[in-house]
Amino acid sequence: MTAFTELSDRVFVLVEPMLRVNVTLVVGDGEALLVDTLSTDDQATELLDAVRRVTTAPLVVVNTHHHFDHCFGNEVIAPPPTPIWAHERAAAILRERGTALQRSWWEEFRGEDPAFADAIARITIRPPDHLVHSAQALTIGGRVIGLRHLGRGHTEGDLVVDVPDADLVIAGDLIEEGAPPGFGDAFPMAWPATVAALRDGLGPATRVIPGHGAPVGRDFVAAQHDELADLAWLIRDGHGDGVPPEKVAGATALTRWGDAGRHEATLAVARGYDELDALI
C-alpha cells in the first residue's frame, strides 16, 4: 500500500490502489483524525502502519458511510475505546444489516477475486459508536473539524468532513472522480440537492477529496451536480411516461463509462423509480 502524501498543512491522503479509496489523516497537536478505514484486516493493518509513520498521536475515526471499503477496517484501526463517528443511519445499517451486507459483498467479489472476498468475510464488523444526526463539531488537537449530513445521496447516511483551516472538504462517495457514481443503495432523486448543498458551501480554492479518485475543486463538484440533476430528470420523465427502466438507463450520460456506467445507470433508474413510488 502506498504511503500518505501531504496535501495541505498536516492533512495527508493515502490512496488504496485496488479500489482507489481515499483515506485522509488530519494531524493536530497530540491527536489525529482518520477518515475511513478500508476493507479488510490486512488493508487496515497496513493503513495503521502508514498512519504511525506520520504520527503516533491517538486517533479519532470517522466513517463517511457504511460501505465495506470505507469502514470494514474499523476493528483493526479503532478498537475500543477509540471513538468512531458516523451518521446515525450508517451506524444503524452496520448494526442491523452488517452481516447480510458482508455476505453480499463476499458474493460480489468471490468470482473475480476469491482471496479478497474471503478477506471481507473474515472481518469483524465494528459499528461506529459516536453518532451524527445533522452536524457535529469536533476539536482534534486544536483543529476544528466539522461533520455534516447534507441529505441522502450515495447512501442514506453520508457524512461530509470539513477541515476549515486547510480549506478542504472530505466528501466520501457523494463525489466520485475517475469512475461513475455508485447507485447500488443510492437515492438518485435526492442526490442532486445533497451535492448542491455541498457545492454551495465551497470556496473557489477549496479542495475536495472524493471517496475515490484524485482531489477535485468546486468546478468538478458543480459539474457532477449537473450530471446528477440531468439523470434525475431523465428518471422522473421516464417514470411519468411509463418508459421501461432499461430504456431510460440507455439514454443516460453514465453510458460513457462503458459497461460500468451502464451497470450503474440500470441501478440508478431502478432506485429512482422506487424513490418516486415511495418504496425507499
Angle at 128 between CA 123 and CA 130, to 5 degrees: 165
On whether residue 174 sits in a domain, the answer given is: no
Distances (CA, A) of 225 to 182, 184, 240: 14, 18, 22
Domain, as residue range, for 79: 5-166
Strands (E), 158-239: 160-163, 168-176, 207-212
Q: With respect to residue 151, please indicate whether it lies within any of the assigned structural domains.
A: yes
Contacts of residue 197, Cβ cutoff 8 Å, sequence gap at least 6: 150, 151
- Judge whether 33 lies within some domain: yes
Residue 195 lies in a domain: no
- The reply to whether 260 falls in a domain is no
Does 110 map to a domain? yes
Q: Does residue 209 belong to any structural domain of this protein?
A: no
Cα–Cα distance, 163 to 90 (Å, whole number):
21
The tens place of each residue's pLDDT in the chain, 280 residues long, gives 679 999 999 999 999 999 999 999 999 999 999 999 999 999 999 999 999 999 999 999 999 999 999 999 999 999 999 999 999 999 999 999 999 999 999 999 999 999 999 999 999 999 999 999 999 999 999 999 999 999 999 999 999 999 999 999 999 999 999 999 999 999 999 999 999 999 999 999 999 999 999 999 999 999 999 999 999 999 999 999 999 999 999 999 999 999 999 999 999 999 999 999 999 9
Residue 72 lies inside a defined structural domain of this protein: yes
Give me the CATH number covering residue 117: 3.60.15.10
Q: How many domains does the chain have?
A: 1
pTM, entire model:
0.97
C-alpha to C-alpha distance for 46 and 129, rounded to whole angstroms: 23
